[in-house]
Structure 1
Amino acid sequence: MLRRTRPGHGGGRIELSREDSMFYSASLPILGVYAGLNILINLFLAYRVSANRVRSKVTTGTGSDDALYNASRAHIVNAEYTPIALIGLVVLNVLGASIYVMHVVGLALTVGRVLHAIGVSRTGESTPPRLVGTLLTWIALLVAGIGCLWYALV
């Protein structure tokens, strides 16, 4: 819905409702949920690295502290994969992807990142949560990549 504001209240601009914006789609709130969750996951993982640095008094690198090393690896790997997947979600949204595709990518990414962080935090060795988390993340990236190509070309 177009609405003109009164002079003195927004300078007489024409405002668009959210639904009339050319960038709004029904899947935009879905994108917001998964982006928000993954931003918070990344912030939590960054906090864990900082807390371990304070505890171990290591300001750079990881020293010989296994807990700091594992927390750092969980954060680094999350920071490598999450932005690419979220870019994929944004492109899927812009291309008008099905909400089901958006949920598959978003849910696989989010659950995958949490499981991977749990698995890496427990030990430096490969664990079932780490393996499943990695596979879910790769599935999210695969579906996002194929989905972007599909919606762009078909």
Structure 2
Amino acid sequence: MTALEAAGLWAGLNALLLFLLSARVGAARMKHKVNLGDGDNPEMVKAIRTQGNYIEYAPAAIVGLVLMALLNAPVLLVHLLGGLFFVGRVSHLLGLGMGVWPTGRAVGTVFTMLTLLITGVALIYLAIV
């Protein structure tokens, strides 16, 4: 597997995760009959914020993986960062969005920030070396 194929794998998995998060918002809207906004409903707020939080970070992470692949980063590095980000976002969903893992939100936040930090440093290194 090439680094670009690895980036494609993680981008695809993240696209499926976004589909799931979006479907959760749609289902909550139908359940609570909320067409726009959150209707002051805590379940709606959680679904919307879980999706919104994902959307805030995913583009930078995925573009970073693709750029690293194009800059000939090692395949293992692309997999490690792609996996770290994906596990972080699923952890965030389990913590904030579903409330089934009390520390999931914190784990998700740490994994996401760590992914962005390492990706940023790696991209700078790959660009100048």
Pairs aligned (count):
128
What residue number does 2:120 align with? 145
Moved runs in structure 1, 4+ residues, more than 2 A? none
What residue number does 1:127 align with? 102
What residue number does 2:41 align with? 65
Supply the RMSD in Å over aligned alpha carbons: 1.5
Match of 2:68 among 77, 92, 114: 92
Contact 1:85 1:144 (8 Å CA) reproduced: yes
Match of 1:42 among 18, 37, 53: 18
**Percent identity for Structure 1 against Structure 2:** 35
Higher Rg of the two aligned structures: 1
Normalised by the size of structure 1, how large is the TM-score?
A: 0.79
Q: CA deviation at 1:98?
A: 0.8
Match of 1:114 among 85, 90, 97: 90
What residue number does 1:74 align with? 50
Q: Please give the residue correspondences for 1:18-33 in structure 2 after superposition, counting only pairs within 5 Å.
A: 26-33=2-9
Q: CA deviation at 1:122?
A: 3.5
The letter for the 1-side match of 2:127 is A
Contact 1:28 1:93 (8 Å CA) reproduced: yes
Normalised by the size of structure 2, how large is the TM-score?
A: 0.94
Higher share in helix: 2
The letter for the 2-side match of 1:134 is T
CA displacement 1:87-135 (0-9 Å, x = unmatched): 1001101100011210121011100000001111235xx9310000110
Contact 1:104 1:140 (8 Å CA) reproduced: no
CA displacement 1:45-84 (0-9 Å, x = unmatched): 0000000000100111101211111011000000010011
What residue number does 1:21 align with? none
